[in-house]
Amino acid sequence: MADEIQVNGECHCGKIEIKATVKLSEVRACHCTDCQQMSGAPLRAIAVAPAEKIKIKGIPKEYIKIGDSGNKRIQAFCSDCGTQLFATDMERRLYNLRTGFLEQKNQLVPRAHVFTQSSISWIKY
């Protein structure tokens, strides 16, 4: 099985569509407190896509989050329906796609769990 797959998805209202190539080996489950708070869930699954392998149709709303480290990250979502789409660095080199809106979400199994020190106690991995 190849490590790269094509993914596509759209926000709940259909205003924004994304197509990308992601590596299955770089799918992660993030347990950081920012992901918990911003997603309203105990963790957030992400698939990584480099800028040259992503196409975005529509204009997402962006919010710049400053982490505890001082790093800035662009958080993108649909301004109409609120679907979370991705996070990226300020230079837009690498995109962390939120797997929940992607049609291939069942194939995007996290290969790693990150920021597990913030993990909710009842989650087992």
CATH number at residue 91: 2.170.150.70
Residue 106 falls within a domain, yes or no? Answer: yes
- pLDDT category of residue 100 using cuts at 50, 70 and 90: very high
Asked if 37 contacts 124 with a C-beta cutoff of 8 angstroms, the reply is: no
* Domain span holding position 89: 4-118
| Residues 99, 24: Cα–Cα separation, whole Å | 12
Q: What is the structure's pLDDT at 1?
A: 52
Site of tokens 């259909």: 14
Rounded alpha-carbon distances, angstroms, from residue 115 to 25, 34, 118: 17, 10, 6
How many structural domains does the chain have?
1
Tell me: the pLDDT tens digits for 50-92?
999 999 999 999 999 998 788 899 999 999 999 999 999 999 9
